[in-house]
Structures are given as structure tokens and as C-alpha cells.
Amino acid sequence: MHSRRDFGWTDLLGSQHKERVQPWLVVFVVRALEYVERQAMRLHVRVAPPPLGADDAVFGESVAKVVGHDAVAGVFISDSPRLWNDTLLTLAKWVPRYPEIPFTIAATNFVMRHWAVVRNSADILADASNAEFRVGVARGDSAVRDVGLKPQPISEFINSFEQFVGAAGEDHRATPTLIATNGPKLMRYAGGHADGVIVQIGVEEGIVKEAVDHIRAGAEEAGRDPSEVSIILSTLFIDPDYDEAVVEQIMARKYGAISQRDPQILQKMGIPVLPPLEGYVDLAHTDEDHDLPADPGAVREFRERYFIPGAPADAAALFRRLEQIGITEAYLMDLGHNAPPDAAIGFIEDMVTAG
């Protein structure tokens, strides 16, 4: 993209017209160029891999729905081997079929997959794509807990991450690497060492700003320009066509999941944290009702403050404010963890229209 530094505004009109340019036209051209230069938040949809044992044509059908929707910047895909078919194998089939779509893995981990395996797969998949291909990595949460393992300690994760980045093949396309984390220590590290940071912390502006500040501080401490680091917000929205009774059941489980995984977020909101369950239960993805002792008022407040607003105009206004805070990208996840992306695509387009 050109900028005003690359050429004079009269070059747009041709040198033979320089003497006849009107002042109003100068203002129009300059403002138009400023608009083009301004970075707007990129909005993506999350598409889950096929459910465990299902035909992966389901994933291909979902990805195909993104084609032709200019408001949708790309596809984010999860990675959890007890929930879905293998993410890397799924992408190996579908990235070559849709090379024009930017894909981001959000996120894999170095507990279930050795960093060298992820490195090799990332290089191969990036080479198969004509668009940007990114890999998000994390310490591991439900993916590792579901098989009785523990998330990687921060020091071990950093060691694995640095080996992963250092082993990038010179003969392959560059693969931007993201770190997914909700903790301040790793946010600062990611700001200094990753191409981008994924956070899933709700949409409360004060909490989002705190995360952005950690990431930018980490970039500055490492001598980087903070604007070079993508800050990506993982967000949840509710398909308006869902039955409200079902939404309330799922919402209580999501509230329980955040109580288990990120209680500090609820504490910052002043929302009570549910007591831990006996043993690990993946409340974020289960379809079973666990009779959680959740106060309905607390669940409603959690819904209002953690999820995207239901009206596209309100959501568009929220995203504009989050962009001003420093969020550069966001991806939308449906409340239903295996839902196709149709509703998310439609919601993004409605937001763009409303915004």
C-alpha cells in the first residue's frame, strides 16, 4: 500500500494538472489517503475441526462459507485431540483446497505436540497456502487436562517456544507465531518475542486495556515497536436463533469454566467465583449439565460483561472502542462449540454495516 510519503498528491492527477488543482480536491485526496492508511480491526471467524470421528467434509463446507465474504479476514481453528479430529491433518487436507483463505491455529501446545512436530507441520502448511498462515501456541488447557496432563510450566513453555521459533526453515514461507495466554507474565514475554498475542478475557474494556498494557510493556522492554505486535481478542457471541433456555444452560457452564480457568477475570469484574469441582471437568466444551451452584444473577452479569453484545450496532461500537484501546484483531466463537460459522459470518457483516 502506498502512503503520502511515497508520492505527492498531485501525482495522482498527473503532473500536467498541478497548476489547476483546487484546494477542496487537495483536502479530499489527503483525507482519502488517510482513510486507506488507517488500520481497521481485522475480524475472523473460528471454525472447529470436525467432531471426533466425524467426516472432515463438514470442516470443508464450513470453510467454503467464508469464501467471498470480504468482511471476514480469515479462519481460526482450535486444537484439542479429545474433542475434534486432528487439527494438523484436517488443515493438511483443506489448506491446499482453499489456499486463498488465511488460517490461524488457535492454539496448539507443546505438551501434546513436540515443538519440532509443530515446526515441521507449520512449514508444510504455510507452503501450501497462498495467504497468511499463522500458528498460535499455548501452555495447554483443556487439550492437556482432558488426558490427565498438566499445562506446561512457563519456563518450559518459553524454552520450547524459542526452540520452535529458532528452527524456522529458511527454505519455507515465513510462519507468524502467536502466543495465546491470559496471564500477565506470559503476556509481557509474548509482547517481546511473538508476532502476536491471543487473549480470551472477555470484552470488559478495563480488563482488555490492562492486557494491552502488559503486552506493549513487554514489547518496549525487548526493544520492539509495540505497534508491530498483533493483539488478538478471542470473543464469544450468541446466535440470536438459539433457544434461550439452552443458552442459559450453556452460559452457566461457561461461567463455571471461567471460574476454573481464569478466576482472576471474574474477580476483577466483581462476579463471584464458583468453587472448584472435584477432578477436572471441561465445562467449556461439555454438553452435560453438572448442577453448578451458579447464582442466576451472577450468570446474567457474566453474560452481559464477558460476551459480545447481541445487537450488531452495539457490538460494532464496542469493537471500535476496543480498537482504540489497542486490539488489532478479533475472532468470533459461537456459544455452541461445534456450531458452523454461518451465524458468526452474518454477525460480522451486520456489524460492518452498522459500524
Strand partners, 108: 137
pLDDT higher at 31 or 332: 332
For residue 245, tell me if it sits in a domain. Answer: no
Q: What does the pLDDT look like over 30-53, one tens digit per residue? A: 443 443 344 489 999 999 998 888
Check whether residue 138 and residue 205 sit in a common domain.
yes
Examine the pLDDT at 284 and tell me if it is beyond 90. Answer: no
Q: What does the pLDDT look like over 187-214, one tens digit per residue? A: 999 999 999 999 999 999 999 999 999 9
Q: Is 35 exposed, middle or buried (0-12, 13-18, 19+ CB in 10 A)?
A: exposed
In whole angstroms, give the CA distance from residue 308 to residue 318: 8
For residue 89, tell me if it sits in a domain. Answer: yes
In whole angstroms, give the CA distance from residue 353 to residue 258: 32
For residue 142, tell me if it sits in a domain. Answer: yes
CA dihedral (249, 348, 106, 125) positive or negative: positive
Check whether residue 94 and residue 181 sit in a common domain.
yes
Count the neighbouring beta carbons within 10 Å of the beta carbon of residue 187: 25
pLDDT of residue 349: 95
Given a contact cutoff of 8 angstroms between Cβ atoms, the answer to whether 295 and 271 are in contact is no
Check whether residue 17 and residue 51 sit in a common domain.
no
Examine the pLDDT at 11 and tell me if it is beyond 90. Answer: no
Strand partners, 332: 45, 235
Cβ-proximal residues to 90 (8 Å cutoff; 6+ apart), any chain: 49, 50, 56, 59, 77, 84
Helices 342-354 and 312-325, interaxial angle, to 10°?
80
Check whether residue 155 and residue 219 sit in a common domain.
yes
Check whether residue 137 and residue 30 sit in a common domain.
no
Check whether residue 127 and residue 93 sit in a common domain.
yes
For residue 248, tell me if it sits in a domain. Answer: no
For residue 198, which phi and psi values (nearest 5 degrees)? -105, 130
pLDDT of residue 39: 46
In whole angstroms, give the CA distance from residue 23 to residue 7: 18
Range of the domain at 150: 42-238+307-354
Check whether residue 79 and residue 143 sit in a common domain.
yes
Question: Which single residue is written with the C-alpha cell 494491552?
Answer: 212
pLDDT of residue 22: 56
Cβ-proximal residues to 165 (8 Å cutoff; 6+ apart), any chain: 177, 193
CA dihedral (238, 241, 244, 248) positive or negative: negative
| CATH code of the domain in which 190 resides | 3.20.20.30
pLDDT of residue 2: 29
Summarize the confidence of residues 95-104 as an average pLDDT. 97
- How far does the chain reach from its first CA to its final CA, in angstroms? 24
pLDDT of residue 3: 28
Check whether residue 54 and residue 15 sit in a common domain.
no
Q: How confident is the model at residue 342 (pLDDT cuts 50, 70, 90)?
A: very high
pLDDT of residue 104: 98
What is the grid cell recorded at 135? Answer: 500458528
Cβ-proximal residues to 3 (8 Å cutoff; 6+ apart), any chain: 33, 37
What is the grid cell recorded at 255? Answer: 461461567
Lowest mean pLDDT among 82-86, 161-165, 232-236: 82-86
pLDDT of residue 156: 97
In whole angstroms, give the CA distance from residue 267 to residue 210: 14
Check whether residue 110 and residue 20 sit in a common domain.
no
For residue 266, which phi and psi values (nearest 5 degrees)? -65, -40
As for how many domains the chain has, the answer is 2
Q: How confident is the model at residue 73 (pLDDT cuts 50, 70, 90)?
A: very high
For residue 302, tell me if it sits in a domain. Answer: no
Mean of per-residue pLDDT scores for the chain: 86
Encoded amino acid at 76, one letter: F
